[in-house]
């Protein structure tokens, strides 16, 4: 990919490790099979990403928008959004291989052809995206890193918010969800400090009520956090 597809202000990521384990249990036979059969067809390698950047319709003929889900977990949310929005080409990144296997199963069962997967850290992918390319970004229930000494590992940092601002179209949205109160406060504080985003919430229901197009995930149902789910939708200001 040539340098002219990217902004000269593309950030250089620090050594942040925002995710934990890469693999937990042995993949189920079906998931392992899909790694061999389905993943090569939809993997976000350099060649496929270059095609998407050149024109998303080359990769997916019905694409009118490109969305990005960061840390898609088991893939339920990403697959459901893809099914509900066939006009969107959805790129997803997840380093946890068991989650990738689960996502492949959801994609296969639903017969989706508008999802592309990266089994790894999504930040290098973001660096390769042109300015104003993405319509929506989802960050659903990321690792909260609740201990203070680990806060530097949280995905939401000033540099990631700046990266979102660069790749989002004017009026594009970032949806962030968490069930940890401290991470909600952390995220809101940093987005409100950004000159590139607005938070158009009106009243408490705007963040305590799931958005109309939200898809509940297995993680969310486990209620592992310390509060009810909180949802933020931040909007990219016009340049």
From 145-149, 152-156, 234-238, the region with the lowest mean pLDDT = 145-149
Q: Is 219 annotated as a binding residue?
A: yes
For the segment 97-108, the average pLDDT, to the nearest whole number, is: 96
Question: Whole-prediction pTM value?
Answer: 0.89
Q: Is 179 annotated as a binding residue?
A: yes
Residue-wise pLDDT tens digits, 18-40: 444 455 568 889 999 999 999 99
Q: How confident is the model at residue 217 (pLDDT cuts 50, 70, 90)?
A: confident
Q: Is the pLDDT of residue 117 over 50?
A: yes
Active site residues: 143
Residues found in the chain: 239
Residue 24 is predicted with a pLDDT of 57
From 176-180, 188-192, 220-224, the region with the lowest mean pLDDT = 220-224
Residue-wise pLDDT tens digits, 149-183: 989 989 999 999 999 999 999 999 999 999 999 99
Residue 185 is predicted with a pLDDT of 97
Q: Is the pLDDT of residue 145 over 80?
A: yes
Pairing of strands 230-236, 134-140: unpaired
Q: How confident is the model at residue 218 (pLDDT cuts 50, 70, 90)?
A: confident
Q: Is 218 annotated as a binding residue?
A: yes
Q: Is 94 annotated as a binding residue?
A: yes
Do 141 and 178 form a contact (C-beta atoms < 8 A)? yes
Strand ranges for 47-206 from DSSP E: 65-70, 88-93, 115-118, 134-140, 168-178, 197-198
For the segment 95-124, the average pLDDT, to the nearest whole number, is: 96
Architecture in CATH for domain 23-236: 3-Layer(aba) Sandwich (3.40)
């Amino acid at each position: 990919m040539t340098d002219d597809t990217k902004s000269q202000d593309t950030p250089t990521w620090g050594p942040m490790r925002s995710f934990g384990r890469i693999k937990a249990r042995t993949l189920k036979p079906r998931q392992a099979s899909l790694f061999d059969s389905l993943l090569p067809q939809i993997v976000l390698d350099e060649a496929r990403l270059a095609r998407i950047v050149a024109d998303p319709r080359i990769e997916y003929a019905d694409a009118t928008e490109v969305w990005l889900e960061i840390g898609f977990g088991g893939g339920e949310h990403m697959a459901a959004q893809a099914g509900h929005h066939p006009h969107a080409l959805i790129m997803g990144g997840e380093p946890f291989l068991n989650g990738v296997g689960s996502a492949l199963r959801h994609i296969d069962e639903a017969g989706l052809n508008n999802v592309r997967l990266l089994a790894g850290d999504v930040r290098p992918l973001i660096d390769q995206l042109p300015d104003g390319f993405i319509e929506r970004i989802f960050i659903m229930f990321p690792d909260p890193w609740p201990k203070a000494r680990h806060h530097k590992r949280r995905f939401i940092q000033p540099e990631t918010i700046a990266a979102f601002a660069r790749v989002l179209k004017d009026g594009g949205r970032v949806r962030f969800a968490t069930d940890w109160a401290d991470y909600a406060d952390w995220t809101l504080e940093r987005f409100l400090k950004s000159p590139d985003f607005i938070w158009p919430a009106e009243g408490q229901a705007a963040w305590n009520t799931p958005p109309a197009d939200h898809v509940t995930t297995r993680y969310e149902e486990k209620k592992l956090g310390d509060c009810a789910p909180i949802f933020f939708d931040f909007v990219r200001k016009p340049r």
